[in-house]
Amino acid sequence: MNWQVLWEKYYPLIGDFVINFLSALAVFIVGWLISKFIGKSIRKIAHRSNALDYTAVPMIEGIVVWAIRILVILVVLTQFGIKTTSLIAALGAAGLAIGLALQGTLQNIAAGIMLIALRPIRAGESVTISSGGISGTVSEIGLFLTRIIQNDGIQVTVPNSSVWSSTIINFSRNKTRRMDILVPVSYGDDLDKAIEILEEVVAQQENIDLEPKASIYVSEYRESVVVITIRLWTASNVYWNVHAALMKRIRQRLEEHAFQLPVPARISKVVTEDHE
């Protein structure tokens, strides 16, 4: 066997393979490093921006990073003469079959993307989800599930599709909230004096917005009480603290001025018949 003849015959093939291998390896390494760099950049930019929920950062980072890596792998395959069109077609058919089998899961993914893109809720916000009547603080918005910590400390995990298809009441999105407190007063009590006392209580309470100005008025006549409404605005993050403080002080101040807690009163009439 003439080694020189074989060398001259296969040298160009070996040379092309080595060149393609080295170029493919270089593309793979550079592309992988670029994907990591872009992933870290996305994380830094996202954490500096208030417009993006930080719970969505891992998902966005993963999607971008793996999109770049898949593109790099396809480029590497072309370096070895592999036709990627047939491979992409096969992957597309496999993806369609998997998508049909996992239709519910894909709905959760789509809903998760919409929740992150449109941001009706964010981590740390107090919300109520109409589906199931779930109320609490949003802990995490994942690719498949949304986690909510209820006010009693119990964690509830809800599929994203259920959250997206429900009516969402967000108590934290606006900076301020209106508060209406109903104060019952017995018939016969001095309403002007009661309103004066309530005005003093409101004026002494902290964290109440000056604009719109708080209003106190008689709003309703019920069976055994007159209802006085206190309407004011306060910051959303201290809403319940202000509410609890006012409920306590209102009752204390009214009782100090001899306004007793109204008790529903019913008058019953007994009819007796005379028998001969």
Domain that holds residue 149: 121-170
Cis previous bond, 262, omega within 30? no
130 near 142, Cβ under 8 Å?
no
Where does the pLDDT of residue 221 fall: very low under 50, low under 70, confident under 90, or very high at 90 and above? very high
Instruction: Report the CATH number at residue 232.
Output: 3.30.70.100
Question: Quick one: what percent of the chain has pLDDT higher than 90?
Answer: 34
Any domain includes 77: yes
Any domain includes 107: no
CB half-sphere exposure, 266, CA atoms < 13 A: 3
213 and 161 part of one domain: no
Note the pTM of the prediction, 2 decimals. 0.60
Question: Quick one: what percent of the chain has pLDDT higher than 70?
Answer: 75
> Residue 194: its pLDDT value, please?
94
162 and 216 part of one domain: no
182 and 130 part of one domain: no
Where does the pLDDT of residue 70 fall: very low under 50, low under 70, confident under 90, or very high at 90 and above? confident
- Report which of residues 187 and 75 the model is more confident about: 187
Instruction: Report the CATH number at residue 135.
Output: 2.30.30.60
pLDDT of residue 245 exceeding 70, the answer is yes
- Which of 16-20, 110-114, 202-206 has the lowest average pLDDT? 16-20
- In three-state secondary structure terms, 236 is helix
Cα angle at 129 between 123 and 134, to 5 degrees? 90
163 and 231 part of one domain: no
Which amino acid is it at 6? L
Look at the chain and report how many structural domains it folds into: 3
Among 45, 66, 101, residue at a domain's last position: 101
161 and 229 part of one domain: no
Q: How far is CA 87 from CA 20, 53, 82, 92, 166, in A?
A: 20, 36, 9, 8, 40
Instruction: Report the CATH number at residue 97.
Output: 1.10.287.1260
Among 130, 146, 170, residue at a domain's last position: 170
Count of Cβ atoms closer than 10 Å to residue 251 Cβ: 14
184 and 149 part of one domain: no
Q: What is the DSSP string of 180-197?
A: EEEEEEETTS-HHHHHHH
Where does the pLDDT of residue 276 fall: very low under 50, low under 70, confident under 90, or very high at 90 and above? very low
89 and 135 part of one domain: no
pLDDT of residue 232 exceeding 50, the answer is yes
pLDDT of residue 28 exceeding 70, the answer is yes
> Residue 33: its pLDDT value, please?
87
14 and 40 part of one domain: yes
pLDDT of residue 67 exceeding 70, the answer is yes
pLDDT of residue 61 exceeding 60, the answer is yes
3-state helix, strand, coil in the chain (%, to 5): 55, 20, 25
Any domain includes 195: yes
90 and 154 part of one domain: no
Any domain includes 274: no
Among 101, 136, 154, residue at a domain's last position: 101
Per-residue model confidence as pLDDT tens digits over 90-148: 667 666 665 555 556 778 888 888 888 788 888 889 999 988 789 999 988 887 889 99
68 and 26 part of one domain: yes
145 and 225 part of one domain: no
Any domain includes 209: yes
Where does the pLDDT of residue 62 fall: very low under 50, low under 70, confident under 90, or very high at 90 and above? confident
182 near 227, Cβ under 8 Å?
yes
Over the chain, what is the mean pLDDT?
A: 81
Any domain includes 135: yes
> Residue 179: its pLDDT value, please?
95
> Residue 14: its pLDDT value, please?
65
75 and 24 part of one domain: yes
Any domain includes 245: yes
Any domain includes 269: no
- In three-state secondary structure terms, 169 is strand
